[in-house]
Amino acid sequence: MPNKPSVLMIFLRMGLSMEITKKTYNQYLSKSLYIRGLQCHKALWLQKYRPELKTDVSASAQAAFDSGNNVGILAQDIFPDGVLIPYDGLTPAEQIEKTKSFLAEGTHTIYEATFSHDAVFVKADILHKGLNGWELYEVKGSTGLKEIYLDDISLQYYVLEGAGIKPEKAYLIHINKDYVRDGNIDVKGLFCIVDVTDKIIARQGKIVENLNAMRSMLQDNIPTTDIGPHCDSPYECPFCGYCWSHIPSPSVFDYADIGRPDAFEFYRQGIIKMEDVPIDKLGWRQKLQHEGVLYQKNFIDNSKVKIFLDSIWFPLCFMDFETTYMNPIPFFDGTRPYQQVPFQYSLHILDGPNSELRHIEFLADGSKNPQEEFFNSLIDAIPDNACILTWNKSFEKGRIKELKIAFPNKSDNADKILENIRDLMIPFREKIIYFWQFNGSYSIKAVLPALVPELSYKSLEISNGEMAALAWINMIKTDCVDTKIKIRNQLLKYCQLDTYAMVRILNEMHKLMYPAE
């Protein structure tokens, strides 16, 4: 167990009030710690005593955190002319005192209002004094109400009431998924406000019970809580790397695709290694994976592969898009929250069976909404009546349908593209071709190295769509010309490999069927 006096000194250096410093360290909780404890007591214990065991925050997770912060700041405009209690530059005790000072002055709207009660520290996104009293607002970047949000708001309500500010109303502010940007962000259009007061009041009876259970747990050694579905629900736990370290590879948790078994059911029976799973408990897809991993067995259905190959024609285009990440605040006019706006494409084209492979690409500079320029370029680049191969056609087709709506004068072009799209992923998704190295996956990142070992994404600075989306934002935000050029080249290399990979995979499929050619 940690040395309690030294931890207490940390609280004193933080400047916490004597009310809190007189409490033992394991009694002190914040809103985020409370939510973590609701999900898993062991995660809360580790956060308090062994935070160094957390996995590093990924770039995509950090981007999600940042966009959430941006949503919170933007929502403040629903109640303009409020005052902010900042995180930076003030100790927790100073934040609490500053909040008290603003309340005493008669301030009607406070952003990040800070309170402490019963050794629980919370910051309320928006505290607003309405006609009938104080109103508590919690801002979330999702498009609807989730149960965990009610626990979040309930704790805030409990602390505020204990601190002498009883909210008359409690609200959740979330993103309106139907909002379409037109000029500057209209905050009243972007956000929905949901009254959750009755639900919050109904939860108050559980707050003290939950707090007592957590504090009792924190008085003891690390809980023996085992892994389970709670590890990533409602949030992905940052301690999974530590708690899952005893799971071997390959394990029951490695089964993939439709029909995969309940891995935790096997786990509870003491079956953890893939080799120990009874084969009769698996679906046909998982049997292929099982036998592939354990015995390096491949499977090819020649007749179905030939049917697929006969279904494509020349000119033949291999097409891939890159899009913006799913941001709650629309980037451009005419777009919605979380819309994936295409900013880049790569096309490899074979005009005939004996023609040379040619490549066409597009990458928007980010100075404006890229949709129209992207679509015009794509229409010009695709030969008439070309067969268009993608990997997971639902993604590209979804973007084309959105472009068709945005530019109805080009609906005929869009319809032709949609009609001619075929999916190179299908033979692998349907296990018509299955190599043991796929390990149950049919992603291009799994298929390519198995069929074309000399090609790899590993050497690229940008190696997946998520990285590409974040890189493009960085490219358009930076003022450094050299950085822009560097990121641009990285994006072009990545997207080009996606379509060239499809060229090579199709070529290997032909070799498997017609080795003498």
DSSP string, 355-390: SPPEEEEEE--SSS--HHHHHHHHHHHSPTT-EEEE
Q: Taking the domains of the chain in order of start, what are their residue ranges? A: 4-218, 247-297, 303-513
Tell me if 316 sits within 8 A of 387, measured CB to CB: yes
Token pair in block for residue 237 = 């736990």
State the DSSP H helix or E strand holding residue 116, giving kind and residue range, or none if neither: strand 109-117
Secondary-structure breakdown of the chain: helix, strand, coil percentages, each rounded to the nearest 5: 50, 15, 35
Whole-number Å distance between alpha carbons of 213 and 270: 29
Whole-number Å distance between alpha carbons of 9 and 143: 42
Report how far Cα 212 is from the mean position of its chain's Cα atoms: 33
Whole-number Å distance between alpha carbons of 18 and 40: 29
Residues ≥6 apart with Cβ < 8 Å to 405: none
Whole-number Å distance between alpha carbons of 413 and 406: 13
Judge whether 4-218 and 303-513 match in fold: no
Q: Note down pLDDT in tens along the chain; length 517 residues.
A: 333 333 333 344 444 444 444 445 667 999 999 999 999 999 999 999 999 999 998 888 888 888 889 999 999 999 999 999 998 899 999 999 999 999 999 999 999 999 999 999 999 999 999 999 999 999 999 999 999 999 999 999 999 999 999 999 999 999 999 999 999 999 999 999 999 999 999 999 999 999 999 999 999 999 999 999 999 999 999 999 999 999 999 999 999 999 999 999 999 999 999 999 999 999 999 999 999 999 999 999 999 999 999 999 999 999 999 999 999 999 999 999 999 999 999 999 999 999 999 999 999 999 899 999 999 999 999 999 999 999 999 999 999 999 999 999 999 999 999 999 999 999 999 999 999 999 999 999 999 999 999 999 999 999 999 999 999 999 999 999 999 999 999 999 999 999 999 999 999 999 999 886 6
> pLDDT value at position 24?
58
Residues ≥6 apart with Cβ < 8 Å to 505: 424, 444, 447, 448, 451, 452
Helical axes 31-39 vs 197-218, angle rounded to 10°: 80
For 127, the 3-state DSSP assignment is strand
- What sign results for the dihedral spanned by CA atoms 251, 257, 263, 265? negative
315: cis peptide before it, omega within 30°? yes
Whole-number Å distance between alpha carbons of 136 and 302: 64
Whole-number Å distance between alpha carbons of 203 and 196: 11
Topology at the third CATH level for domain 303-513: Nucleotidyltransferase; domain 5 (3.30.420)
Quote the pTM value: 0.91
Name the CATH architecture for the domain at 4-218: Alpha-Beta Complex (3.90)
Of 407, 390, 406, residue with least CA distance to 335: 406
> pLDDT value at position 62?
86
Residues ≥6 apart with Cβ < 8 Å to 219: 26
The HSE-up count of residue 218 (CA atoms within 13 Å, CB side) is 27
